[in-house]
Structure 1
């Protein structure tokens, strides 16, 4: 398992989301890149030096510090889209090889290079910027149906990474909640939501969604709410 490329965003106009700028245009960089924990969402900071997000309401922060996507999945999409996809084409910071990103468990930890440790937090959910960037009508639905979202990671141990670094899985939690399962549950298959409850490493926002949508519906128990 290895890191094929480290990709950092180049600011560009965002005509697809009502924002002035987007950082989705990620491009491979040479040499080491510093990785650090960005803190809470809201100021545009992410985990890689030189990168940032501009939709600060929905992106960035500790639980979305770094985004990883597998080269194997990009290769499959090349066949679907009929065009080459370089590292960073899906807006990912890390393009990996030999690592099952979508099969990774929530809370799983990866060591990259000598020092950096990242923890799988939550799947990526596609948005209008992603669809506009790829210039493909219906892309959000197509990507969602495929359920190959890639993973957002939080930073556990800081350091430097570079293309060619080995990737090692150093911790796997004791549950079966994968990135792909989480994505399916949070998007098209809400009946799967109860299966996410053992994944305590899910961000609190996602866990609250699961709790709210799986709570027993007590409305019918209120006086006068039933039907005779």
Structure 2
């Protein structure tokens, strides 16, 4: 089955006590939009990002989350979770986001994207959902979604195919990196094989391995 973009979502300005930004604003509440949207190296046109220190930037230009994983959470929490409910720019269908290999390239619409790293849950996410122990639950579930960098700018819209056009031979996946850096440190040596990971993550892994002797 061909993977597809189920929705393209843009953040709106939300003011809340749980917002992590010093201004008390967050862009985690993302809503689906009609028509194609320009995706550039700086991110998705029209998307609001409050905490630039932790969100956005070339290695986190786009965030993708799978509808199938969202459905699991909806069943677990007993409530509907619509497109953008995870703060994702791209809601995908029939795309193995957790199994995506670090560095693999996706042709989506007229854009070329590259998988960079998993999402790390934060207190803003927990506050947005109103689930106090969400960080723990999200970590245990280990379906974090994937950040992507933009190798070629282009327009992306709902219904566009998601085609994996290149996949690195190392095979290190989004899910493995997430588990290695959270609950399964025995996986850390394998993470170093993924040289397409952003350097701050690789350096963090090297430090952790060095501290273990």
Same fold (TM over 0.5): yes
The answer to whether the Cα contact below 8 Å between 2:67 and 2:92 also exists between their aligned partners in 1 is yes
2:58 maps to what in 1? 62
Determine helix, strand or coil for the equivalent of 2:197. Answer: coil
Tell me which structure has the larger Cα radius of gyration.
1
What is the aligned residue count? 209
Q: How far apart are the structure 2 equivalents of 1:84 and 1:188? A: 28
1:130 maps to what in 2? 125
Determine helix, strand or coil for the equivalent of 2:44. Answer: coil
The answer to whether the Cα contact below 8 Å between 2:12 and 2:48 also exists between their aligned partners in 1 is no
| 1:32 and 2:32 are equivalent in the alignment | no
1:8 maps to what in 2? 10
Q: How far apart are the structure 2 equivalents of 1:7 and 1:18? A: 21
CA distance 1:143–1:216, shift in 2 (3 Å): closer
Q: Deviation of residue 54 (structure 1)? A: 1.1
The answer to whether the Cα contact below 8 Å between 1:14 and 1:129 also exists between their aligned partners in 2 is no
Q: For 1:65-106, what per-residue CA distance to the aligned partner results, in whole angstroms no more than 9, with x for missing partners?
A: 000000000111111010011110010000000100000000
Aligned-pair Cα RMSD in Å: 1.2
- The list of structure 1 runs, each at least 4 consecutive aligned residues, that deviate by more than 3 angstroms after superposition, is none
CA distance 1:217–1:193, shift in 2 (3 Å): closer
1:84 maps to what in 2? 80
List alignment gaps of at least 5 residues for structure 1.
39-46, 219-228
Q: How far apart are the structure 1 equivalents of 2:69 and 2:37? A: 24
1:145 maps to what in 2? 140
- Relative to the length of structure 2, the TM-score reads 0.95
